[in-house]
Amino acid sequence: MVALAPHAGSPPRHPSAARRPLFRRRSAVPGFALTLGTTILILSLVVLIPVSAVVIRAAGMTPEAFAAAAFSRRALHAYYLSFGASFLAAMVNGVFGALTAWALVRYSFPGKALVNAIVDLPFALPTAVAGVSLAILYAPTGWVGGFLAPFGIKVAYNPTGVLIALIFIGLPFVVRTLEPVLRDLPIDVEEAAATLGAGRFDTIRRVIVPAILPAWLTGFALAFARAVGEYGSVIFIAGNMPFKSEIAPLLIAQELEQFDSAAASAIAVVMLGVAFLMLLLINGLQAWARRKT
């Protein structure tokens, strides 16, 4: 029944089966050359060539012109604000994001499913919408701003407003990188610590924190990297005053509005450099996290 009928198909008799093909077959899964070639082609056209255009444009400037654009006092202040506010926002998210992840993994409470779903809102909500909404909330006449105004606290149109916007867009990163790690923490390690006489807070400090530290730092770095480049949610609430509340991406946009693409490229190269360093850092952190788990 399952006979090897001699007529039922024969191996391909064309000579190419016998000779080694020009590109040696590497895998039984087909389509490698085609898909890899297409991937590299599209990646080059969409990402690599345009991004290199920025670097090449900046490289065509004289060192003096480059420095004048990239390291003007106004630009330096913009970096200071962008990096500083991003760092602070990542810190805030590091704390509240960790608490949120902890509560989501370890506790059950009413509305947990809702909290879990809405944590991703900053991924789904257009940044411009977040921007106008936060601006109107934190304006001196807004629900939150009006509440804070009597105490002399000004948020909107102020560096603090930048911070609020960056907290908003970075919030999911720490939660979502910590969550799976917390969930996979073996309970028996904690139980072992407890049976060895460690108090609950000792256990958290000496067993849990070291285990989740790489993931926490990764989440922090991701939130920071995202915040540094953020534009849409910030510009509505920041007030955008040079030397006060002007972020680096906005400065690029403004140079472009002046049709000074060289100056814009110079600032962009500084931003790209920082993004590249962050990428290296994040890769390193993730490699560290993998070794730990």
Partner 1 sequence: MSLTAPSAAKIGHPNIGREPLWVRVVVIGVVIAFVTLMLVLPLIAVFAQALSKGLSPFVEAIGQPDSLSAIGLTLITAAIAVPFNAAFGVIAAWAIAKHRFVGKSLLVSLIDVPFSISPVVAGLAYILVFGLQGWAGSWLIDHDIKIIFAVPGIVLATIFVTFPFVARQLIPLMQAQGVDEEEAAASLGASALKTFWRVTAPNIRWGLLYGVLLCNARAMGEFGAVSVVSGHIRGLTDTMPLHVEILYNEYDFVGAFAVAALLCLLAIVTLILKAALEAFQPEVAANAV
Partner 2 sequence: MPYDLEHKASEAGLTAPSNALEGPPPEDRAAVSVRGLKKQFARYPALNDVSIDVRPGELLALLGPSGSGKTTLLRTIAGLEFPDEGQVLFDDVDVTYASAAARRVGFVFQQYALFRHMTVAKNIAFGLSVRKRKDRPNRKAIDARVAELLKLIELEGLGKRYPAQLSGGQRQRVALARALAVSPRVLLLDEPFGALDATVRKSLRRELRRIHNAAGVATVFVTHDQEEALELADRVAVLNLGRIEQIAAPDVLRNHPATAFVAGFVGEANRLEGAARGGVFRLGALELAAEGVADGPALAFVRPDQFELAGQGLEITVERVTLAGLITRVDAIDAAGHRLEIALPRGTEAGALVHGAKVFVKAVGGRVFPAT
- Judged by CB, which is closer to partner 2: 12, or 63? 12
Does position 62 interact with partner 2 (CB under 8 A)? The reply is no
Minimum distance from CB of 14 to partner 2 (Å)?
9
> Which of partner 1, partner 2, none interacts with 67 (beta carbon under 5 to 8 A by kind)?
none
Crossing angle between the packed helical segments 209-229 and 261-292, to the nearest 10 degrees = 170
Is 13 a binding residue for partner 2 by CB under 8 A? The answer is yes
Task: Please give the Cα distance from 210 to 203 (Å, whole number).
Answer: 10
Q: How far is CA 214 from CA 53, 94, 133, 181, 267, in A?
A: 35, 12, 34, 10, 31
CB 275 within 8 A of CB 86: no
Half-sphere exposure of 216 (CA within 13 A, CB side): 19
> Given the structure tokens 């360093």, which residue do they identify?
277
Give min distance, CB of 12 to partner 2, in A: 5
The entry of partner 1, partner 2, none near residue 293 (CB within 5 to 8 angstroms by kind) is: none
Nearest to 238 by CA among 162, 169, 166: 162
Give the interface segment with partner 2, choosing from 1-9, 52-60, 185-193, 277-285 (CB under 8 A). Answer: 1-9
Instruction: Return the one option of partner 1, partner 2, none that residue 186 interacts with (CB less than 5 to 8 A, by type).
Output: none
Closest C-alpha among 82, 171, 190, 173 to residue 130: 171
DSSP line for 262-283: HHHHHHHHHHHHHHHHHHHHHH
Q: Are 171 and 93 in contact (CB under 8 A)?
A: yes
Decide if residue 1 touches partner 2 (CB under 8 A).
Answer: yes
Per partner kind, with CB cut-offs from 5 to 8 A, the member of partner 1, partner 2, none near residue 12 is partner 2
Indicate which of partner 2, partner 1, none lies near residue 59 (CB less than 5 to 8 Å, by partner kind).
Answer: none
State the minimum distance, in angstroms, from the CB of residue 9 to partner 2.
4
Which one of partner 1, partner 2, none interacts with residue 277, CB within 5 to 8 A by kind?
Answer: none
Q: Please count the residues of this chain forming the interface with partner 2, following the rule CB under 8 A.
A: 24
CB of 191 to partner 2, least distance (A): 30
The answer to whether residue 19 forms part of the interface with partner 2 (CB under 8 A) is yes
Alpha-carbon distance 85 to 161, whole Å?
10
- Angle value at C-alpha 13, between 12 and 14, nearest 5 degrees: 100
Helix (H, G, I), strand (E, B) or coil at 252: helix
Give me the 25-54 binding string for partner 2, x by CB under 8 A, dash otherwise. xx-x-x------------------------
Contact status: 7 vs partner 2 (CB under 8 A): yes
Q: Which stretch binds partner 2 (CB under 8 A): 14-22, 32-40, 132-140, 174-182?
A: 14-22
Residues that bind partner 2 (CB under 8 A): 1-13, 16-21, 24-26, 28, 30
